[in-house]
């Protein structure tokens, strides 16, 4: 999905640049930037989604570790509870 967003960035920039190059190089560069904004928005959204998925996976690992530690502490009767 992120690759498709980067492709939209390049396609939008190229299309906008090639369309407006006849009006001047500076105008073409500005339009290329404007044409790539939609794809850049997609890149940001996919990065945020991947970050949240990784965060969820880490929280699941931490939860399972904490549950194992809690179970071990509850089953361990050799330590005195002060």
pLDDT of amino acid 15: 94
pLDDT of amino acid 33: 95
Which sequence spans correspond to the domains of the chain?
A: 2-75
Query: Any residues with CB less than 8 A from the CB of 32 and at least 6 apart, and which?
Result: 13, 14, 16, 17, 20
pLDDT of amino acid 1: 75
pLDDT of amino acid 82: 59
Quick: pLDDT tens for 44-57.
Answer: 999 999 999 999 99
Low-confidence ranges of the chain (pLDDT < 50): none
């Amino acid at each position: 999905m992120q690759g498709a967003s980067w492709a939209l960035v390049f396609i939008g920039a190229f299309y906008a640049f090639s369309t407006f190059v006849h009006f001047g190089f500076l105008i073409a560069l500005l339009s290329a930037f404007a044409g790539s904004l939609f794809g850049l928005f997609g890149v940001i959204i996919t990065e945020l989604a991947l970050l949240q998925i990784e965060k969820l996976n880490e929280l699941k690992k931490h939860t399972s570790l904490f549950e194992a530690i809690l179970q071990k502490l509850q089953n361990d009767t050799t330590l005195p509870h002060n």
